[in-house]
Amino acid sequence: MYRGKFAPTKDIASFFLFVSIFPLAMAGPIERATNLLPQIYNKRTFNYDQAVDGMRQILWGLFKKVVIADNCAVYVNQVFDNYQDQTGSTLLIGAIFFAFQIYGDFSGYSDMAIGIGKLLGFKFLNNFRVPYFSRDIAEFWRRWHISLNTWFRDYLYIPLGGSRGSKLMVVRNTFIIFLVSGFWHGANWTFIAWGAFHAILFLPLILLNQNRKYTDTVAENKLLPSLKELFQMGLTFGLVVIGWVFFRAETIHEALGYLGGIFRKDLFIRPNIINREYSIPIFINLSIMLIFEWILRDKQHGLDLSNIKSHILKFLVYYVLIALLFICGGKAETFIYFQF
């Protein structure tokens, strides 16, 4: 409003609905007034196709939260609470599981919020676009928590000068963005270290002008990625997992001890699968999630089956996922991002 891009609303009911609309109230996506207020002003009518897609997205969000995140949390908590006694391979599995826990937890919430919005006639902005299929760290941040990252871009990065000016200024602005992002998550040095780590990963891309290289969909119009793309995704995911250790740890000392524990000789021995009967289904369900998200990576969410004509196939998928919610649903865990 200060910049004259949007007029302040004079409708008090619309204002209070905008600031308190319940699907978004706890963890986002962070909606802009420019997108949501016009939808509040306009009359909404029930749209069957939109509502069906909303139900699909809610189901997908539930699957990611209840089946993926909550089950991973049990394993992650046991590993991080006793990391000094674990082998390097076990610590590596714990770190990878946390990467999927936080993704399933937060993107699952976003899917449910967006799906509920569709039932109410609203179109909320997408917040995640398969970030773990990114080919470099810049692409990852264009696909992870999109609403917050674009907020930082528009209200902090660009006012600081953005990509204009010297390389030194661009590097400075990038570090400020990531350090503020870390501090936003909590007043703990682990979050600052997490932000600084990602800023350092950005440096080569900035210096080589490669930070906007990947804006398309990986392996577009192909069933499988190339070996180069597979390597790029694996490397990017590995670096993100290292960053998540700082995010999950209570202290810097714990994070460094955990990472040091990974890179030992026992990294190459069979991991200690804590509670094998409980953990094996996690691998199976993770595979299901990744297969769906890979096949539908260019869609709005991982259960966007609108192009499939067979009703039998679609309902088979729905009922399998619903069954997995009841059979494999983990111990209820509070949403991670509720604390931020």
| Residues with catalytic function | 185
* Helical segments of the chain, H only: 12-20, 33-41, 48-62, 70-81, 88-119, 137-143, 146-152, 167-185, 189-207, 227-248, 252-262, 276-295, 311-328
Give 275's contacts (C-beta < 8 A, 6+ positions apart).
74, 75, 78
Other C-beta atoms within 10 Å of 190: how many?
21
Q: Are 328 and 69 in contact (CB under 8 A)?
A: no
Other C-beta atoms within 10 Å of 217: how many?
14
Q: How far is it, in rounded angstroms, from Cα 113 to Cα 27?
A: 9
The long-range contacts involving 225-232, CB below 8 angstroms and separated by at least 24 positions, are 229/135, 232/135, 232/136
> What torsion do the CA atoms of 308, 311, 316, 322 make, to the nearest 10 degrees?
90
**E strand or H helix that includes residue 27:** none
Q: How far is it, in rounded angstroms, from Cα 182 to Cα 191?
A: 5
CA 182 → CA 6, 192, 206, 251, 290, distances in Å?
29, 5, 20, 14, 27
User: Which structure tokens are listed for 185?
Assistant: 């998550």
